[in-house]
Amino acid sequence: MAESDPIVGIIMGSQSDWATMKHTTLTLEKLGIAYEAKIISAHRTPDRLTKYAESARDRGLQVLIAGAGMAAALPGAAAALTPLPVLGVPMDGKVMGGLDALLAMAQMPGGIPVGTLAVGKAGAVNAAVLAASIIALSNEDVAASLDKFRADQTAGVAEEPKD
Ligand code: RP5
């Protein structure tokens, strides 16, 4: 998204995470929130992670969303390097269906939180919506977008199932 400066930073450990994390970008676009998306691995590109997380707040980012699978250290390592809120999305389609990544993200030591979402697509979507909720506290435009998103979602639920 290039029209305005990004306020959400999306990072993921591997290209293989993109199929899931693209749902975060699609949801942020529905919400009208400017973002950037990068491949950054806590294990394979630690210097890239350090530079990114340490500069994130000064560059104007307000929330980081980190998707990772397997050992899933990325959100926790990012949270150690920035005071920004970090939301973690455990990848599905990996070992143990993503349960290993979910537990790794959730089990952060006290003092360095990661807001861990559901495994897979639902978590990727909800990370965007939760980022919007955080930003909406101090941004009227995002608050209005979030209200509309939620109202549209409610209106889109049929009262009865159909074939
Ligand atoms: C994590 O392990 C990444 O987030 C990704 O989910 C996984 C590695 O995947 P590959 O790059 O091996 O496909 O670091």
Ligand 1 pocket, 89 CB below 6 A? no
Residue 35 has φ and ψ, to the nearest 5°, of -140, 170
Within 55-109, strands assigned E span 63-68, 86-90
What is the pLDDT averaged over residues 117-146? 98
Amino acid at 6: P
Q: Which atom of ligand 1 is nearest to the CA of 70?
A: 2
pLDDT at res. 127: 99
pTM value is: 0.96
Ligand 1 pocket, 41 CB below 6 A? yes
CA 83 → CA 43, 80, 111, 116, distances in Å? 21, 8, 11, 16
pLDDT at res. 3: 62
**Under 8 Å between Cβ of 120 and 20:** yes
109 conformational bin, left if phi > 0, alpha if psi -120 to 50, beta if neither: beta
pLDDT tens-place string over residues 81-121:
999 999 999 999 878 999 999 999 999 999 999 999 999 99
Pick from 38, 45, 70, 95 the residue to mutate for probing ligand 1's pocket: most ligand atoms within 8 Å of its CB.
Answer: 70
Nearest CA to ligand 1 atom 13: 16
93 conformational bin, left if phi > 0, alpha if psi -120 to 50, beta if neither: left
Ligand 1 pocket, 104 CB below 6 A? no
CA nearest 59: which of 12, 6, 10, 11?
A: 6
13-27, 85-99, 118-132: range with lowest mean pLDDT: 85-99
